[in-house]
Every structure is written in C-alpha cells, then in structure tokens.
Chains A and B, each alone.
Chain A
Amino acid sequence: MKTPQYITAFRTVSVAITLAFILLLLLGDALGSLAALVKGA
C-alpha cells in the first residue's frame, strides 16, 4: 500500500531536522578545525 502523505511528511520533517542539526555541528567543527589549521600553519 502506498505510504500516506502524512506519514511521509512526518518522516521528512523529523529526518530533515535531525540531519540539519548534525550538519550544522559538523560544519562548525570542520570550520573550527580549518581555522586552527590555518593558524597553526
């Protein structure tokens, strides 16, 4: 049976929030490391 739209919507929102949150953390960490690298170099 086709997945109802409201289930897809719930999944999309929860996954999007999770990934956005983690991506922000990762980018923050990567940029911080890069800055440290540039400073160190």
Chain B
Amino acid sequence: MTSVDWAIVAIYLIWIVWGGIRLTKRTKELEGYFLGGRSLPWWAVGLSVMATQLSAITMVGTTGQGYASGMRFLQFYFALPLAMIVLSVTLVPFFHNAKVYTAYEYLERRFDAKTRAFTSLLFLISRSMSLGVVISAPAVVFSVILGLDLTTTVLLIGAPAVIYTIFGGVQAVTWVDVKQMGLIVGGLIAAVVMLVAGLPDEVTVPQALRIAGAAGRLQIFDFSFDLTNQYTFWSGTIAALFLFCSYFGTDQSQVQRYLATDSVDSARESLMISAYWKIPLQALVLLVGVFLFLFFLYTPSPMLFNPVHERAMREGPHAAEYRELESRFEAATASRSASARVMGRAEAAGNTHDFEAARGEFQRQDAETRTVRAAAIDLVRRATGDAAYSDVNYVFPTFITQHMPIGFPGLLVAAILAAAMSAIGGELSSLSTATVIDFYRRFVRAEASDAHYLGVSRVATAFWGLFASIVAVWAAELGSLIEVVNRFGSFFYGSILGVFILAVGFPRATANGAFVGLVAGMGAVAWAASATNVAFLWHNVIGAVTVVIVGLAVSMLLKR
C-alpha cells in the first residue's frame, strides 16, 4: 500500500466517523437513539439491513470461497426472498403494531418475563461473541497482509464503528450504512473490472467464463437431496428459509432496523430491498472469486496465500516436503495455464476436437493443482496444530495489495473496512438495545428519565465495543471457546423461531409451554449436531419444529 492508498483509507474513515457523530444532535431521547424516532425512510433502512449482513468476512471469505470452490455457495441465499415475504406477512406487523424496542420484549407481552429474559440473554451471548469474530477475521488478514500489529488492525476496524454508534445510535448506523453500501458495491464492481482487465489480451470474457466453467467454478445448482450436504438447492430453499426467517424475524440486529421505520408498510418495503437484491449482490461477490481464479490462472500465484505461513513452511522443519509440493504446484499450474490458452485458441478457431482435448488436459491439471494445494494446507495444519487452517481469506487481499494500481488498494481496503463497520455498528446498537431495554429498564431501574437511559445506553454500547475488541484480539487463543459459543448460537436460531411461531400462530400456546419447547428445541439441535451428520442448515428446521410440537403439547397438558 502506498501513501496515496493510506490517505484514501484515512479520509474515508474520518468522513464516516464525522458523518456519524454529526447525527448525535438527533438522538436526545431513547427512541431516537435506538429506533431513529421511528421515522427513518424505508430505502435507507433496507440498505442498512443489507449492509449489516455484508461483513468483511463476506468480502474476504466469500470471494476466497468463490476462488476455491466456485459459485455453489450462492444456493445458501435462495430462500432469502421467500423469507422476506413470509416475515412481511407474519412477524413484521406484530412487532410494529406492538411498538416494542426489541423482538424479545414482544415475548413478555405474549408469554412471560422469563421467556423474554432467556431469549434476550441467548442473543447477547451469541451475538457478542460473533461480533468478536466479525472484527477478528479481517483484522487477522489485514495484520498479515499489511504487516501491522493485530491490536492495531482490531482498533482500525473496530474503533470508528464503536465511536459513531456510541454518539449517533441507530440513526448514525443507518445513514453511515447507506454510504458504506455505495462504497462496497462500487469496490466490488471496480475489482471485477480490474480482474477482467488483468486477463491476457487474447482471452475474451466468454472464453474466460468457459474456462471457469470447465474448472467447475460456475457450478451453482446441486439438485441432489442429501441432508448431510451443506449446500444443495433443497437446503438452500427449504432449510435456509427457517434460518432466514429466524435471522431477519427474531434477531435484534435485524428487527431493530425495520422497527425504525414509520409504518408497517415502510418496514415491509425495507425488507423487499433485500428480497430483490441479495442474490444478485451475493452472485457479484462470488463472481469476484471466480475472476480471481481466472486471474491467478494466467498470473503466477503463491501455493499458499498466507505469506506468514508460507515463509514459516519454507524455513521450518517441513521445508523439504514443502519445496517438493511447490515444485509439483508450479508444474501443474504452468500446464493448466498452457491448456487454458490452447482451449481459447481452439475455440476462436472453431476447432472442437482440439478444444475438447485441451479441456480434458486442463481439468486434469486443475485437479492436480487442487490436490497439491490441499496437501500443502494439510502440511500447515500438521505443522501448526491448527486443524481448521485455511488460506482462502487471503486470496482477495493478496490481489488488492499486490496486483492493483495505485489508488485502488486504498479504495478496496476502505470497502472492506466499510463492510466490517456496517456489520459492527448494527450489531453493537442491537446489543446495547437488548441490554438496556430487556435487562436494565426491566429488572434494574424501571422508572428514570430519558437522559438517564440514554447515558446508560451509550455506556452499554461502549462496553460491548470493548468486549468484542478484546474477544477479537484474543480470538486465536479463544478459538475453541468461540466455536463453542457459535455452536451454541446455532442451536438457538431454529428454536427461537419456533417460540415466535408459537407466539404469533398459536393462541393456545402458554408461557410454560413455550419455555419448555425452547429448551427441548435446543436439546434436539444439540443431539442432531453431535449424534448425526445432518448439515447445519437443517438444524434450524429441527429446532423450530421441535419447539412448536413440544410447546403445544406442554401447553395443552398443563392447561388440563
């Protein structure tokens, strides 16, 4: 990164933080701070909802996934538009008309205080830990790629969002998100343009796409019905429907946004933005990954994209084994590149026979490249003891910092920071809301002035920002703990959806029935996760269905 690039990043951060702080004057009361006075326009809320889901992990992780495995991950989002319609018809009017601050507050009105407190507590635990991961994942990548200390990159990513959220509340989060979305989409389009420009002159875009297709990178649909396979058409349209209904319908980080609109229809309209644009946007992110694959097909690439591990392997006790793998990798990538060029020439000449022969050779060499890379990653895992090691998060940042012309690295790093900040701001604001509304105002001090609650809310936002930053800095050491908490969070997603289905759809359901159902649903998911190979998306279905069945059964039994 040159000084020009750093200047772009610095100017962007100052502009964003200043813009957020300026909104402080509009947050004189609690409703303004947490819900924007219930008067934010639907289009701004809709863009903010999209920005919150699009974290830096999406920018670096999903593009890396596109590079390594192609576009099949897109199936994960197929149910999202359907979930938006389901929620608009069901939960959105209930929340909006109830004039609540949190989704869990509604559960006390329908059931009792313990169901509200338990679900809100589960949200606080899982969301605060996942916020740590949202900060740490890009912080670790930036630390390696830019050669900065991890604490510095955690502060670079976390501090601006914490500052503008403390001062400006949900208004700042929403309006900053609108700017962030513009930069993120602009950055992704700029990346595609630069990647296409980086292809050899004789390779046209359709030819390049045919080569990506031959390597299986454009395989999107998998119609096999296999409950153990994470990404299929069926898990993406049926199981993910439960996940998205739970995420957008019961997770405070999402619900809080559409509660900030002025009417039920505005809330619905805000969700329709995601319904229309989420799949195309995610396709664009994965397409960046596919073009990264094409770029590194013609440009020599490192075998491992994490330079720290690459150096450690080259100089460590496994150096000889690594060197041997590297020789195989260089030979395979050179042959793969040559075959791709022959494919292009044969296609241009209309020579089907040569094209098919080159295609077969290309696929063999691509398979060999994957095998060698997998062996190198396995070697790193054995050497470091990190069984989950992967370097896909480093592919896009490597391209940005080493292959883009001056100015563009600054733009793209700012876009990745924007994605991180938009997720952090939204999640921080929701953590603060749940803390103050579901616990402080409910159990500690029920009657106080707005100024008092506003002060406590700002302290809560600062506390969660500090907590998530500490988790982020210690994420490597806390690895197994974070995994446990995230697993715990996944037990809870389908189950909490089940509680809301009981609340809204079954007047006969009682408070005790819902509570026992929630515990049973989490237990069922814990069993499915530990005793079966069923893919995690289906856990949401298991959790929701168990809660509804057990909840109704207990409700009826206890009524008698």
Q: Does B associate with A?
A: no
**Which residues of A come within 8 Å of B, CB atoms?**
none
